[in-house]
Structure 1
Amino acid sequence: MTTIYATLGVQPDATLDEIKRAYRRATMKWHPDRNLGREAEAYAAFQEIREAYAILSDAEQRRVYDEVFAQEMQRWQAERDAQEAQEREVQRERERLAQEHYEKMVAIAMRFADDGHNRDVLFGVLLGRDCDAELAARIADSVWALQEARRDNVAATDTPDSEATVQPDEATSPQRHSSAFETFWQGLFGLRQ
Structure 2
Amino acid sequence: MATLYDLLNVRDDASDEEIKRAYRRAAMKAHPDRNVGREVHAHVQFQEIKEAYAILSDPEQRRVYDAVYAEEITRLAREQEEEARVREAAREAEYARHVALAMRFAEQGHNRDVVFGVLLGRDCEAQLARRIADGAIALHASRQAQADTTAPRPSGEPQAEAEPSHANIFSTLWHGMFGLHP
For normalisation by structure 1, the TM-score amounts to: 0.58
Report the AA paired with residue 68 of structure 1.
V
Q: 1:33 to 1:82 in 2, by over 3 A?
A: same
1:90-109 to structure 2, matched below 5 A, reads: 90-108=90-108
- State yes or no: 1:44 paired with 2:27: no
Q: Please tell me the root mean square deviation across aligned C-alpha atoms, in Å.
A: 3.2
Greater length-normalized contact order (CA 8 Å, ≥ 6 residues apart): 2
Q: Aligned residues: percent identity?
A: 40
The answer for the alignment partner of 1:8 in structure 2 is: 8
**Structure 2 regions of 5+ residues with no counterpart?**
146-182
Partner Cα separation in structure 2 for residue 9 and residue 96 of structure 1:
48
Match of 2:61 in 1: 61
CA distance in 2, matches of 1:95, 1:130: 11
- Cα deviation, 1:102-157, whole Å, max 9, x if unaligned, reads 1112222x1x67xxxxx9xx85x997x79729869x96xx97xx8xxx9xxxxxxx
Q: Which has the larger radius of gyration?
A: 1
Matched, 1:72 2:72: yes
Contiguous gaps of at least 5 residues in structure 1: 114-118, 151-193
CA contact (8 A) 2:102 2:119 kept: no
CA distance in 2, matches of 1:74, 1:8: 23
Distance 1:55 1:102 in 2: 61
Aligned-pair CA distance for 1:45: 1.1
Structure-2-length-normalised TM-score: 0.62
- Equivalenced residue count is 132
